[in-house]
């Protein structure tokens, strides 16, 4: 057996993409509540009222800044897919029963910060929000499923963002600290595995290569405050319950140089440094890597870092390294028109790979490469906490859904994980992304489906929310039951 009996097979979702109930039981808003739907080729838009009272829509991005004097707003004539999600808020019992039927050992989900502290600045938490997650975690425990909880999955309370910018103020560290202290205490004994920030590296990784020095300054400062917040969370979590295991969460992309030109090799190295190692090193080693100074110098970055921050980073290293993996990317310094279209997909076309309908490179071997490289670097237990294929599914007349493409995708990735384990990597969990269909983060679409479970919800807002089992549901059940041996 390559995957031992303690291996955590499971799946993952995020609050803002599945819960819906955006304005129910005292929840405050998050950025996703003012973000419209998009498509593979058209961006999602953020809606707000400018200082002169005019309605405005601009493309969502990691470097979006609300203009001076503007405030976020929901417009009646726009559709906001995250408002309904798949209504997990009211369907969680039914959904957890289906996960149990598949044999799940772990379910990754996130807490919506603004359900607990609606504006982020209250002194006391919202009891209805606390109760909701207590009920969900209890339901999971009763089903024999270990919860893995993301504390932040792109959903800072919108009121904080409007007042202080997107993590541009040191005050965020204290707001986050209050929030994590509440949830660590509240769910002590119910939740043991925690992740501090989902895909923390997106802030820097998805900045275009030609971003301005000002954008770099803001991105690195944003990250520094999140690093300190994360390190303080690790310390608090360990103090509240020494049993807690707390991880970082990195958007894992395997970068390859397109050519053997030394310029491409160096460019590729900078992709790994800036995109992957920068965050992992700080969170796993407790200090900035040597190359950080070079990266800051390239863009004249001057950071607000105190001695206490450095002490916190040192004392708040994570217990586990977790990451998402969807694709590899080929990069080059040579002019190249053959770029890959699609959402959130950068880089140039790799002639040795095929691509999903959303332009994401399908590369199972890239997962093994990533696992082995990262394990050698940090020697901490690893979890693959997102991996999956966003694809168009067809519901047949009899209600069946034949998603062989998804089964094929998982089969090849699981085989590569097995090889990594054989090669000595301490991989302890695999939670596939969107194990139940949900709203796409990048495009806001429902039609970009990832699930083993189909949800009857569509991009125009229609649908009954009925849950249906796809062929992959039965396949994954068999995989789990056989500890990853039966992949046919």
Which residues belong to the active site?
A: 199, 386
Q: Applying CB under 6 A, does 105 fall inside the site for ligand BG6?
A: no
With b for 16 or more beta-carbon neighbours within 10 A and e for fewer, the 355-371 pattern comes to bbebbbbbbbbbbbbbb
Helix (H, G, I), strand (E, B) or coil at 348: strand
Q: Applying CB under 6 A, does 14 fall inside the site for ligand BG6?
A: yes
For residue 409, give the H/E element and its range: helix 404-422
Nearest residue (CB) to ligand BG6, 157 versus 359: 359
Other residues' Cβ atoms within 10 Å of the Cβ of residue 268: 20
What is the token pair recorded at 430?
Answer: 């695999």
- Which among 237-245, 366-374, 437-445, 459-467 is the span making contact with ligand BG6, rule CB under 6 A? 437-445
For residue 368, which of 325, 405, 310 has the smallest C-alpha distance?
325
Residues 300-359 that bind ligand BG6 (CB under 6 A): 324, 344
Can you tell me the distance from the alpha carbon of 203 to that of 219, in angstroms, rounded to the nearest whole number? 6
Q: Applying CB under 6 A, does 440 fall inside the site for ligand BG6?
A: yes
Any idea what DSSP says for residue 273?
A: I
- Which among 130-138, 219-227, 372-380, 441-449 is the span making contact with ligand BG6, rule CB under 6 A? 441-449
- Which among 29-37, 371-379, 408-416, 442-450 is the span making contact with ligand BG6, rule CB under 6 A? 442-450
Can you tell me the distance from the alpha carbon of 272 to that of 252, in angstroms, rounded to the nearest whole number? 10
Nearest residue (CB) to ligand BG6, 17 versus 244: 17
- Which among 46-54, 265-273, 406-414, 435-443 is the span making contact with ligand BG6, rule CB under 6 A? 435-443
Residues 255, 433, 473, 475: which binds ligand BG6 (CB under 6 A)?
Answer: 433
Helical pair 171-186 and 127-142, crossing angle rounded to 10 deg: 50
Q: Applying CB under 6 A, does 444 fall inside the site for ligand BG6?
A: no
Q: Applying CB under 6 A, does 36 fall inside the site for ligand BG6?
A: no
Q: What angle do CA 211, 214, 217 make, to 5 degrees?
A: 100
User: How many chain residues touch ligand BG6 (CB under 6 A)?
Assistant: 15
Helix (H, G, I), strand (E, B) or coil at 48: strand
Give me the phi and psi of 110, to 5 degrees please: -120, 160
Residues 11, 38, 125, 390: which binds ligand BG6 (CB under 6 A)?
Answer: 390
Q: Applying CB under 6 A, does 35 fall inside the site for ligand BG6?
A: no
Q: Applying CB under 6 A, does 199 fall inside the site for ligand BG6?
A: yes
- C-beta separation of 31 from 161 below 8 A: yes
Residues 227-266 that bind ligand BG6 (CB under 6 A): 251
Residues 155, 386, 416, 459: which binds ligand BG6 (CB under 6 A)?
Answer: 386
Q: Applying CB under 6 A, does 384 fall inside the site for ligand BG6?
A: no
* Beta pairing, strands 106-110 & 146-150: parallel
> Applying CB under 6 A, which residues contact ligand BG6?
14, 17, 198-199, 251, 324, 344, 386, 390, 433, 440-443, 448
């Amino acid at each position: 057996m390559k995957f031992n009996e303690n291996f955590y097979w499971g799946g993952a979702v995020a609050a803002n993409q599945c819960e819906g109930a955006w304005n129910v039981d005292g929840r405050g808003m998050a950025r996703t509540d003012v973000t419209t739907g998009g498509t593979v080729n058209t961006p999602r838009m953020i809606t707000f009222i400018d200082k002169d009272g005019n309605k405005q829509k601009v493309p969502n991005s990691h470097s979006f800044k609300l203009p001076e004097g503007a405030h976020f707003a929901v417009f009646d004539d726009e559709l906001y897919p995250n408002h309904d999600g798949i209504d997990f808020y009211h369907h969680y019992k039914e959904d957890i029963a289906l996960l149990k039927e598949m044999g799940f050992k772990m379910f990754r989900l996130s807490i919506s910060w603004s359900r607990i502290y609606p504006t982020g600045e209250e002194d006391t938490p919202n009891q209805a929000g606390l109760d909701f997650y207590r009920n969900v975690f209890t339901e999971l425990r009763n089903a024999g499923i270990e919860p893995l909880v993301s504390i932040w999955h792109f959903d800072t309370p919108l009121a904080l963002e409007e007042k202080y910018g997107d993590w541009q103020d040191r005050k965020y560290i204290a707001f986050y600290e209050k929030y994590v202290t509440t949830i660590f205490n509240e769910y002590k004994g119910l939740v043991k595995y925690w992740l501090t920030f989902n895909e923390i590296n997106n802030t820097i990784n998805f900045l275009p290569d030609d971003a301005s020095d000002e954008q770099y300054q803001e991105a690195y400062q944003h990250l520094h405050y999140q690093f300190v917040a994360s390190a303080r969370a690790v310390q608090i979590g360990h103090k509240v319950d020494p049993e807690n295991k707390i991880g970082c969460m990195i958007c894992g992309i395997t970068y390859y140089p397109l050519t053997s030109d030394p310029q491409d090799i160096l460019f590729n190295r900078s992709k790994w440094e800036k995109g992957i190692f920068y965050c992992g090193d700080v969170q796993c080693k407790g200090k900035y890597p040597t190359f950080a100074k070079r990266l800051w110098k390239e863009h004249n970055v001057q950071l607000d870092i105190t001695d206490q921050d450095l002490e916190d980073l040192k004392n708040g290293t994570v217990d586990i390294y977790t990451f998402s993996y969807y694709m590899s990317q080929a990069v080059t310094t040579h002019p190249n028109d053959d770029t890959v279209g699609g959402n959130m997909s950068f880089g140039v076309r790799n002639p040795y790979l095929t691509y999903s309908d959303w332009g994401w490179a399908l590369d199972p071997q890239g997962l093994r490469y990533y696992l082995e490289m990262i394990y050698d670097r940090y020697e901490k237990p690893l979890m693959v906490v997102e991996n999956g294929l966003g694809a168009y599914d067809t519901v047949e007349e009899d209600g069946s859904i034949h998603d062989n493409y998804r089964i094929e995708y998982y089969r090849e990735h699981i085989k590569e994980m097995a090889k990594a384990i054989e090669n000595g990597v301490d991989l302890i969990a695999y939670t596939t992304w969107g194990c139940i269909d949900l709203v796409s983060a990048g495009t806001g679409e429902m039609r970009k489906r990832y699930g083993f479970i189909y949800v009857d919800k569509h991009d125009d807002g229609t649908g009954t929310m009925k849950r249906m089992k796809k062929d992959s549901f039965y396949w994954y059940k068999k995989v789990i039951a056989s500890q990853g041996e039966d992949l046919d």
